[in-house]
Structure 1
């Protein structure tokens, strides 16, 4: 292996190790089995441990050994594809029997006539956390305490649900599979405005805050529920919600306790930092995602001072004021702020909290979430920077500049326009620019611009505009349409260039040309008279 190949191999090995992926290499001719340190770690072995195929099988969960051995044999069969892909459990040979779920993938290399397997190479990845979350979700789906539903925003259909949710709304699984369950149809008319706000929040952040609503059943009865959910994929239309029957929660203490336990499971599943406080704002609970992000244990996180210690210094006073206002008034709490991670970096979050009230209307606790919006904020800052750069450029050019929407209604002018005309944006917005046009030209100019907007073609015209001191100056005006990806006009960008001096020079040239033509004509007439007089004399 040359130096370049060695370097490439080392870089690849480093990248694989950094990604937490283990590698293995089995020489089928010698029986030598090589494992990376990460591979040994996933079997509970130290880096110095020696391994062979027998020890590999010993490190598998007893229920997975025969199945895994069969999949290996199938991969080694020259009549097969040589591909290897399986999930199994390891039992931690030397770390106390720690159970891990892993996924192993690999490929067998055969001799040229494909009669004998020579080498077996592959990777191994830890999927324990994914399996744990999948198990939690399965338990939620099988739960008889909390309803779970999968839905589509565009069609408003409930795509799938567990039995508890179907019992709650009074539908059968056959009706669900036939596409007859529509969550909009279950919502009373007075609840649609709140529903639309929740949908807008889902499309904006990918999740929605827990909220209370009522379902209207087919027999006319109403069932109060508490809903929380999120989109399955950012920017998608399908998502999952967890539905708690509020009427049953209030009916018995036993079901309340069970619902609380199920609700805690929900908070571990949703992709947000979740917290609870008592009515005074004293924090009493944080979910595991909070602990993973901040590095604070649950014990360290309980209390009031800790919260502000994790906030960015520039956000603390604002957050205290906003939170204090919500505690005093019971109003919905919402704020964007930066939280410190356990690696001392800061990320932007959308903090939201909703008061939970008892039957008498008193607040008994606050339920809050922190949604990571760091990437969206960075995009927002970048957009603001680009807008600032554009404004600087637009205000630096020597022309008057403006932008209009797809209908031709102007919504922005650069500073030079306002300095020249002495007007304000409120006066000029829309078609207000007609106020500073010469009355003798404004109708013609307006008709020409409207025609360009209707056709989507670029526009150009020359006309006078009134300056702030009442003097009119001539401008050459141009506008170009801006299209979206679908080819539709979304706005117009235009400029007005002062051509008064050029216009005056043109007028002077035209007058000088007219004077010259007159002089030539008179001189020609004089010459004709002189010629006629000469002919007359010669004739005598």
Structure 2
């Protein structure tokens, strides 16, 4: 707590105590004034009551000498006293219950007295319970005396309360004076303890400190301004004690700085030597762009001496800069000018420096860095040049080699691709990009990935190939498919090898197998079909018959066979020619094929004979199908041949019989149909 706060609290407490005591005194004085007024009122009431008592006595004893008007006058005077001091009567009644009872009794006595006097004159009836008329004067005198006695008691009570209040007032005044004395003494003690004693302590400490006792510490426990002053004294003493040590430290620091300055000068000399011998050109420009310093390599690259460079600007016509494309670099794009304009450094800027005769170019990598002063303003610009002519030539040769390699790749009739381990395509020729249905823009953006174009069922083949690559460094050719953007698939033959280097890269070769697959399908089709009619040939039918009979025996499924021969076909060949006969065979195969299921096998058995294998078909259903086929052929009209008919033999496979036995039984049923008149169906189990 601060001294100001404490002083305010002491003053506020004193004022509050004074106001409380003063308020008590004023309240006591106000009560005494009211009691005086009440006493005076009681005295006036007592005097008036005594007068009324005397007049009543005279009136009762000598009514002729003292008429009734005197009595009424006294009553009126008493009423006037009561009405004039009604407020005092109300306060007396509220303050004291005994006074309230006395006043109520006084009013009843007055009312009874009036009633008795009125009854004495015969104007109104006497009060309830009044004695006979002969006793009325005595009762009136008794009430009058009682009335005087009550007023005397009221006066005595007011006088006693006034005496008591006066004693209380004196006591309050004494307490007030004693409180003021105690308040003054307490304030003095607080002031002495709070201010005088700490100030005396500080004075004593200051005298001792001035005598050289710097080890002295006040260490005050207070929490006010004096504590802050004591802390300041302690800090001052700490600083005084440290001054000697600080002086020694300062001397040591001065010596160390001298050593640092000597080392700095040596370092500057070494730095200058280092800059002079750097294999990079270093040029320092001032804030105005003029050259302040340049090392020998910079002079060599720029084709001038250090003296010729000093004081010149970057826009000097003695040299010229060109872009990597060969175009002249504008002056406002020179590294120094860019730093002065933007205030930011320039890094990794490749430029060409033309020789003085403009016949050769030295390629450099340039950097420019601003140096700011204490105000943050650019004071110098340091420009460095690294000769990258050899690297530039190597890069040009690498670009030429890459271009030649790309031409070789693009001229190849096979896809060539380089990918990383994640499947992202790094390089590819046009042939491969066409296979993958990918653009050069996607390749340049790194958005071409062969894994994304691989159907899920082929991923396992790719994983096996990659495992083989990681194990042996190469993988043998394998087949897979790519998904094109239109949803179609393209078959490929792939092979790959790991490229040497730290990064795992794969060189892949891809061959489009679309045409080969088409040829294979055609060969397979030619191997199993009849070249004239397109129906399956006899060899394929025999292979299928063997497989289906085994399946029927294994699973207990029915299996039926239909054999039919075209009636009078030889006549068509003899009369119309074999060309017309071939057309009839083709038309009949097409007609029969429309009524077969996908699982049914239609094969040319030989000449004009055909077989139909019906998997999971019983004899009844096979006979029904044969009848439909017969009817359909009968309605078929071939140009130049007329209406065609055929004879059908239908047999269901019997478990246990051989293939030859089944075929023989079917063939017999077909010839049975021919013997019975052709154009009919013959069947049996």
TM-score w.r.t. the length of structure 1 is: 0.44
Greater percentage in helix: 2
TM-score by length of 2: 0.36
Whose Rg is larger? Answer: 2
From the two aligned structures, give the one with the greater strand fraction. 1
